[in-house]
Amino acid sequence: MSKYERVVVTGGAGFLGQNVVNELKQRGYSNIVVPRSREYDLTEQQQVRKLLSDTRPQLVIHLAAVVGGIGANRENPGKYFYDNLMMGVMLIEESRRAGVDKIVSIGTICSYPKFTPVPFKEEDLWSGYPEETNAPYGLAKKMLLVQSQAYRDQYAFNGIYLMPVNLYGPGDNFDHASSHVIPALIRKCLEAKAANARTVELWGDGSPTREFLYVTDAARGIVTAAENYDGADPVNLGSGWEVTIKDLAEQIAKIVGFDGQIVWDATKPNGQPRRRLDTSKAERLFGFKAKTSLPEGLQETISWYQAQSPQLVSISK
């Protein structure tokens, strides 16, 4: 039986959001509202107030965000800061005023300092400034943690804050301009193979490490926390392992059957040097542990994208 009768999932039509909505449905939730931007502008206070008045949720899961890769962050620092900050601030404030039982704010590991000791522990969140290329986005999201804790202290309002690591999986954004690393690498390798190209050029030198969480695992973690965690502390959601971008690119190239050369453009930024989370708190506090391995997740993601792009060559078996 579902714990909350009415749920609003902002960003519920997006990549992560669709998976969260599916997870909620699998757990018996039937009254789930997914607000669309054409109906409610979540950066406007009156629009947020109207959303909550129209839907009267007991639980709000705030996934809506304006996001992108390194290039998109460099081109839109002001927009990424303003839109992400205002959406979260308005939702938390208006949810408190509307008597919402609980709000789940989804943060980002981009909030961590650039040189956070690895693995990233939640206690290190304030020990330095984020990596410069995505600092405006990361800081905007981190303010939602501050707000959630302040509102808990002053108003006894139940807001929790989760920080998923880089997500990937079927349904991800494969746009050249705004995609993250895994879909970008998959698309580049498949297009290079289809064109019989001998090289694929990638940003940086391949040395940074990243941790990735399969999207259905992330959705399970978010809903599990919504149902079972009511604490003030931020909580990482991740897989607990890391892979270099170089190794990741080679794995993807092998799966899709691209046997050309990967060329690294070291004049382009690497981003944060290393990312791997300490995921012990999520397991301890609400029993979350990732299930999907990277090879399994990559195969599923590539197969999905291949099905959407029949003009590209089929995956090598």
Which residues are within 8 A (CB) of 174 and not within 5 positions of it... i.e. 6 or more apart?
Answer: 183, 184, 186, 187, 305
Q: Helices then strands (H, E): number in the chain? A: 10, 12
- Extract the runs of DSSP E, i.e. beta strands, from 185-247: 199-203, 209-210, 212-214, 235-237, 243-244
Which one of 80, 137, 161, 229 is the catalytic residue?
A: 137
CB atoms within 10 A of CB 269: 15
How many residues appear in the chain? 317
Residue 4 a catalytic site member? no
Q: Is 142 exposed, middle or buried (0-12, 13-18, 19+ CB in 10 A)?
A: buried
CB atoms within 10 A of CB 159: 26
Residues assigned a catalytic role: 137
